[in-house]
Amino acid sequence: MKVEVLLFASLRDLAGTDRITVELAENATVRDLLISISSQHPILEDRVSHTRVAVDDRFSVPEDRITPESELALIPPVSGG
């Protein structure tokens, strides 16, 4: 299945776009998504392990399932002061 993933902040800047498309197997998990992003979008590979994934407006855990209808977002760590 193909899913669209929204990118924010530095991830958006690095990719040069606010969304990417990722090919996943049926019944894929968030862990599978991160692995696929690393291989299909190598420019993001170094950042994926430090990124939170939101599925349908909530932060996910690696075991969460993804459906073709899932709204997915990658959110990099933020800092401020």
Going residue by residue through the chain, which has 81 residues, state the pLDDT in tens, using 9 for 90 and above: 999 999 999 999 999 999 999 999 999 999 999 999 999 999 999 999 899 999 999 999 999 999 999 999 999 987 665
Query: Do residues 76 and 47 lie in contact, with contact meaning Cβ atoms separated by under 8 Å?
Result: yes
Tokens for 36, please give them: 């696929």
Domains and CATH numbers, the chain: 2-75 (3.10.20.30)
Q: Please tell me the distance from the alpha carbon of residue 72 to that of residue 18, in angstroms, as a whole number.
A: 12
Residues 4, 21 contacting (CB under 8 angstroms): yes
Question: Exposure string (b/e) for 3-14, b if CB count within 10 Å is 16 or more?
Answer: bebebbeebbee
What pTM, to 2 d.p., does this model score? Answer: 0.92
Residue holding tokens 């776009």?
A: 17
